[in-house]
Amino acid sequence: MPACEYEPPPYKGPDYNHIRQVRGSLLNPALLTNFSSPLLIYDGYMQWLFDHTGKRYLDLFGGIVTISIGHCHPKVVAAATEQINRLWHTTNIYLHPKVHEYAERLTQTLPGDLKVVYFVNSGSDANDLAMMMARLYTKNFDLVSLRNSYHGASPYTSGLTASNTWKYNFANGFGIHHGVGGTVQFPLGYLKKAFELVRSNGGVCISDEVQTGFGRTGEHFWGFEGHDVIPDIVTMAKGIGNGFPLAAVVTTPDIAKTMTGALHFNTFGGNPISSAVGLSVLEVIEEEKIQQNSLEVGTYFLQKLAKLREDYTIVGDVRGKGLMIGIEMVQDKTNQTPLNPQTMMDIWDACRDLGVILGRGGLYGTVFRIKPPMCITHADVDFTIAVLQHVLDETTKTL
């Protein structure tokens, strides 16, 4: 395992078994945990997480694709601390320098006429608001989303999700990118044609950049830029605040004007602390060349994983761009039958036991998702590959 400069203090919190008991009795049972036995995580630094025993893990899932530049990045901690010591909350009924400075900086990253921002608290909030904007602007109510997509858990956004484990009987919505669906890449020209079709029928195009934004795909700051399109509305969350509750909707001045006739208020959207955090995240991405690192380390990762695909019959596909990577596991390459759930769990647990935390996704839960903090190194990749080789060697012996 690569070295880490940070040493966490000893854990002095509640007993592990007591926490599990509280979790089971007081927290909603819909809140699922990863792995056959859940981890108790209490500390983190950059690409590393620490459990209650002090064991260190390489976090390749980034808090569900949320930690963009590293856990507890010193610059973000400093920015948040400074703002906490000055002013926590005002709401947008007052002017405040941080939110205006942040809006200026954020909109500079977007192309075309995407120049008006509305800050909210989560990806679900952002996609809800985007749907409202689209309906107010077009006077249309039908929306289109991609099969096996995921855009949030609110009543509106649940309708965007074409998977029976998440879907409820609410109106459908429109979205762009696949992350939870298994890191599915679009065919060349697909989005351009889709945008043309939507616009020719009087619609607007919304790009959900909650997972793909802020340089994660490497070549571009925003995922849609890799497809030669400019959406009418862009939603963003997760990596925007590096784990702090922050999200935003950016659109054109014309579409934004439609909101003046509707009452929409967000108590915590654009508060001083979240604005300070968001601004510091953008500064780190630029100063530390995070997008370039995502491209270089992500390309190296994909090359190494491609060799695993050649060497193991249960590795059906490796795909992705930058540090948004999926490894699809199968029974065998010939028929591409999804790997059975128990074997998936065994591999997942074994990687965790050796210090590597992976995510899971895809329609059948058979895609390992690699979406780490974008500060990871080539040495971290080499360590991960060594762990995967060992685990896959042991797994294939029993198949």
Summarised one tens digit per residue, pLDDT across range 270-310 is 999 999 999 999 999 999 999 999 999 999 999 999 999 99
pLDDT tens-place string over residues 39-68: 999 999 999 999 999 999 999 999 999 999
pLDDT tens-place string over residues 342-392: 999 999 999 999 999 999 988 889 999 999 999 999 999 999 999 999 999
Q: Do 377 and 242 have their domain in common? A: no
CA 383 to chain centre: 23
Residue position matching structure tokens 């979790």: 23
pLDDT band per the 50, 70, 90 thresholds, residue 243: very high
Q: Do 47 and 96 have their domain in common? A: no
Q: Do 244 and 301 have their domain in common? A: no
Both tokens of residue 329? 């596991």
Q: Do 191 and 98 have their domain in common? A: yes
Cα of first residue to Cα of last residue in the chain, in angstroms, is 28
> Within 13 A of 80's CA, how many CA atoms are on the CB side?
16
- H or E element: which one contains 119? strand 116-120
Q: What is the pLDDT of residue 153?
A: 66
Predicted confidence (pLDDT) at residue 158 exceeds the cutoff of 80: no
Percent of the chain predicted with pLDDT > 90: 79
Domain CATH for 168: 3.40.640.10
For residues 168, 173, 175 and 179, what is the CA-based torsion angle, rounded to 10 degrees?
A: 0
Q: Do 84 and 207 have their domain in common? A: yes
Q: What is the pLDDT of residue 147?
A: 66
Q: Quick check: is 6 in a domain?
A: no
- H or E element: which one contains 103? helix 97-107
Q: Do 96 and 229 have their domain in common? A: yes
Q: Do 36 and 85 have their domain in common? A: no
Average confidence (pLDDT) over 305-316: 97
Q: Measure the CA–CA gap between 264 and 156, rounded to whole angstroms.
A: 15
DSSP 8-state secondary structure symbol assigned to residue 240:
G
Q: Quick check: is 312 in a domain?
A: yes
Q: Quick check: is 5 in a domain?
A: no
DSSP 8-state secondary structure symbol assigned to residue 64:
H
Domain CATH for 372: 3.90.1150.10
pLDDT band per the 50, 70, 90 thresholds, residue 149: low
CA distances from residue 212 to 178, 259, 262, 325, 326 in whole angstroms, order as listed? 9, 26, 30, 11, 13
Q: Do 257 and 335 have their domain in common? A: no
Average confidence (pLDDT) over 260-269: 84
pLDDT tens-place string over residues 90-141: 988 899 999 999 999 999 999 999 999 999 999 999 999 999 999 999 998 8
Q: Do 279 and 319 have their domain in common? A: no
Contact 323, 294 (CB under 8 A): yes
Domain stop point among 228, 261, 287: 287
Q: Measure the CA–CA gap between 211 and 269, rounded to whole angstroms.
A: 20
Q: Quick check: is 41 in a domain?
A: yes
Q: Quick check: is 257 in a domain?
A: yes
pLDDT tens-place string over residues 187-218: 889 899 999 999 999 999 999 999 999 999 99
Q: Measure the CA–CA gap between 61 and 356, rounded to whole angstroms.
A: 10
Q: What is the pLDDT of residue 171?
A: 29
Q: Quick check: is 11 in a domain?
A: no
Predicted confidence (pLDDT) at residue 268 exceeds the cutoff of 90: yes
Q: Quick check: is 114 in a domain?
A: yes
pLDDT band per the 50, 70, 90 thresholds, residue 177: very low
Domain stop point among 241, 265, 287: 287
Predicted confidence (pLDDT) at residue 169 exceeds the cutoff of 60: no
Q: Quick check: is 10 in a domain?
A: no
Contact 273, 80 (CB under 8 A): yes
Tell me the Ramachandran region of residue 356: left when phi exceeds 0, alpha when psi lies from -120 to 50, beta otherwise. beta
Domain stop point among 287, 304, 319: 287
Residue 215, domain extent = 74-287
Q: Do 278 and 370 have their domain in common? A: no
Both tokens of residue 1? 């395992």
- The number of distinct structural domains making up the chain is 2
What residues contact 376, with CB distance under 8 A and at least 6 apart?
Answer: 47, 58, 60, 293, 297, 323
| pTM (predicted TM-score) | 0.91
Q: What is the pLDDT of residue 62?
A: 97
The 8 Å CB, 24+ separation contacts for 150-155 are 150/179, 150/180, 150/181, 151/123, 151/124, 151/127, 151/175, 151/208, 151/210, 152/122, 152/123, 152/124, 152/125, 152/127, 152/128, 153/124, 154/124, 154/125, 154/127, 154/128
Residue position matching structure tokens 């601390």: 81
Q: Do 183 and 247 have their domain in common? A: yes
Q: Measure the CA–CA gap between 248 and 258, rounded to whole angstroms.
A: 17
Q: Do 235 and 302 have their domain in common? A: no
